[in-house]
Amino acid sequence: MIRTALASALVALAATSCASTELTRETQTSGTFESTAWTVTILAIDIPKGALVAARENVNNMGLANAVVTETQVAPYLGWFDWFLDILSVRRARLRGTWGFEK
């Protein structure tokens, strides 16, 4: 019974994700943004969704006009050995970019 409760608590903790966005206004109609998201990967299943997907959804939900992603970073990244991270890992994605219209 204790093992079941512990396993349930671990799954509940793993199912949570963390995401944040930061918006900087440079002019009245333009600026920069940064969106980050964390996700847990267990046996190649991203819980609750992929980190890049969550970060892109955050940018989309901000409703910024003319948003352009200029930098994408996913950590950890092991190149060809990235399949090791599909077994069990925590990944962070960060998107940076610009939005709006400059004169």
Structure tokens that stand for 24 in this block: 């900087």
Q: What end-to-end distance do the CA atoms of the chain give, in Å?
A: 65
Taking alpha carbons only, the member of 101, 94, 91 closest to residue 46 is: 91
For the stretch 30-81, pLDDT in tens is 999 999 999 888 888 888 788 899 999 999 998 888 999 999 999 998 888 8
User: Is this structure's pTM higher than 0.85?
Assistant: no
Q: Which residues contact 96 (CB under 8 A, 6 or more apart)?
A: 32, 33, 34, 69, 70, 71
Give the β-pairing of 18-27 and 30-42.
antiparallel
* Residue 69 neighbours by CB distance under 10 Å: 15
CA atoms within 13 A on the CB side of 55: 23
Quick one: DSSP state of residue 80?
Answer: G
Predicted pLDDT of residue 45? 85
